[in-house]
Amino acid sequence: MPQATELKAWSALQSHHDNVGRNFVLKEEFKKDPQRFEKFSKTFKNTADNSEILFDFSKNLINEDTIKALVAVAKEAGLEKLRDEMFAGEKINFTEDRAVLHVALRNVTSDPINVDGKDVMPGVNKELKHMEEFSEQIRSGEWKGYTGKPLTTIINIGIGGSDLGPVMVTEALKYYGAREQTLHFVSNIDGTHMAEALRDSDPETTLFLVASKTFTTAETVTNANSAKEWFLKKTDNKGDIAKHFVALSTNEAEVTKFGIDAKNMFGFESWVGGRYSVWSAIGLSVAIHIGFKNFHELLSGAHAMDMHFKNTPLEENIPVIAGLLSVWYSDFFGAQTHLVSPFDQYLHRFPAYLQQLSMESNGKAVSRDGKIVKYTTGPILFGEPATNAQHSFFQLVHQGTKLIPTDFIMAAESHNPIDNNKHQKMEKMSSRLRTHQPNYTNTRHSWVTDQLHPFLLKRLPL
């Protein structure tokens, strides 16, 4: 199997970079083509709720030939084949001989998806129904603790994908969250993390979600045992573990050994990777906090993007273009980092979630056939809300000597229009100064993402 650098399309892309990319001046490209924004922008139409997300790629160091050359690399590398095999349930995770089927978790149509000749959707839907019933029991107060009180403090104990995804989503969708709930996420093995979560918690009204597929993850089990000891001590051993602890796991033996009722175990299949697990039972904390109806809408929106990725030609495929731009900057411009900077405060944990999604996925040094790679497998991804970053590290981004490709993310409409939208107007003005983007105030229910090379920002035609 040839490496990417050995592909004919890669050589053509290298020639394109040498002839065009190396001398690319964004300001001049905007002068030459007044329609550049329209030409390099893509709008994702979310079929789940008819909303739109605008992706502005016009501030990148690309022209039409660049897109053609990048897509040619993707095609020669077999991206379309691997994509189709993933959706078909083929075992594209060849090292573990497993399918990669997080798309099944958000397949709200319930169209069959087969692994080894068996449709996985009945199992997925059964677990979703279990999550719906339990989350609504907690939210309504029907489920009560050992003294008969409703459970209003939720502590999720997990690490990695069992923590980062749920934290990100509950923060992003906090507007829809139950305000009477107190929600904690404990991941650090440092006892301080657990101690602070327990400090003001009442054992009579606290629910623990222990998230570990194997129920043997050292950090998670250690924290779970500490929580159990606290609970039993505070209740003089009268507390009912089964009413206050549930497991997001597939290891029934270890779960029941811990004291959790097997009926309160929420499982998921081996083809669910940790960094994608928020769409599975690992997202139970999300469903409890925002309600299962909203959780299902989250799945529906993700499914809509899955269908865009699956069915859209690569030249118009938004996630494909975004991924290829990362290759363009990392391997041809030598960029070592990728900054994601949302203006919306609800998305403040989104960069941390993307860190795992990108860097755990691409943290490889060998090819699929076991050879040392001859190219960069991925950049270091980092981020911070844009307004805060403006007053911290943006000085280096704007005026330093490093190439830092950046995604700005902005909400066209705020959930919190304080003082006649004064805050939102300042946010949009700040965003326009950074990205030279048009006024998007007429874009309904939209997010705007705009990737550019901040080092060249001073050369934009402001």
Provide the domain limits for residue 188.
118-290
Residues 171 and 255 occupy one common structural domain: yes
Q: What is the pLDDT of residue 446?
A: 34
CA distance 220 to 157: 6
Answer with the one of 234, 269, 290 that is the final residue of a domain: 290
Q: What is the pLDDT of residue 452?
A: 42
Residues 165 and 218 occupy one common structural domain: yes
Residues 78 and 137 occupy one common structural domain: no
Residues 370 and 415 occupy one common structural domain: yes
Residues 285 and 425 occupy one common structural domain: no
Answer with the one of 222, 257, 290 that is the final residue of a domain: 290
What long-range pairs does 401-404 form, CB within 8 A, spacing at least 24?
401/455, 402/336, 402/337, 402/455, 403/329, 403/333, 403/334, 403/335, 403/336, 403/453, 403/455, 404/335, 404/337, 404/338, 404/339, 404/453, 404/454, 404/455
Residues 189 and 76 occupy one common structural domain: no
Q: What pLDDT digit, counting tens, does each position of 267-320 carry?
A: 999 999 999 999 999 999 999 999 999 999 999 999 999 999 999 999 999 999
Residues 285 and 316 occupy one common structural domain: no
Residues 276 and 377 occupy one common structural domain: no
Angle between helices 191-199 and 218-234 (to 10 degrees): 30
Residues 128 and 238 occupy one common structural domain: yes
Write out the two tokens for 200.
Answer: 């003001």
- Assess if residue 78 is contained within a domain: yes
Question: Length of the chain in residues, anyone?
Answer: 462
Residues 420 and 342 occupy one common structural domain: yes
Residues 331 and 278 occupy one common structural domain: no
Q: What percentage of residues in the chain have a pLDDT greater than 90? A: 83
Q: What is each CA distance from 341 to 63, 66, 381, 450, in whole angstroms?
A: 24, 25, 11, 10
The CATH number of whichever domain residue 347 belongs to comes to 3.40.50.10490
Q: What pLDDT digit, counting tens, does each position of 430-439 carry?
A: 655 554 443 3
Q: What is the pLDDT of residue 24?
A: 92
Residues 285 and 304 occupy one common structural domain: no
Q: What is the pLDDT of residue 286?
A: 99
- Assess if residue 387 is contained within a domain: yes
- Assess if residue 331 is contained within a domain: yes
Answer with the one of 259, 290, 321 that is the final residue of a domain: 290
- Assess if residue 333 is contained within a domain: yes
Q: What is the mean pLDDT of each run of 10 residues along the chain (462 residues)?
A: 92 97 92 96 95 96 98 98 97 93 96 96 97 98 98 98 97 97 98 98 98 96 98 93 96 96 95 95 98 98 98 98 97 96 96 96 88 93 94 91 94 83 65 46 37 36 28
- Assess if residue 101 is contained within a domain: no
Q: What is the pLDDT of residue 255?
A: 97
Q: Where would I find the beta strands (DSSP E) of 152-239? A: 153-157, 182-186, 206-211
Counted domains in the chain? 2
CA distance 282 to 262: 16
What is the Cα Rg of the chain in Å? 24
- Assess if residue 253 is contained within a domain: yes
- Assess if residue 111 is contained within a domain: no
- Assess if residue 112 is contained within a domain: no
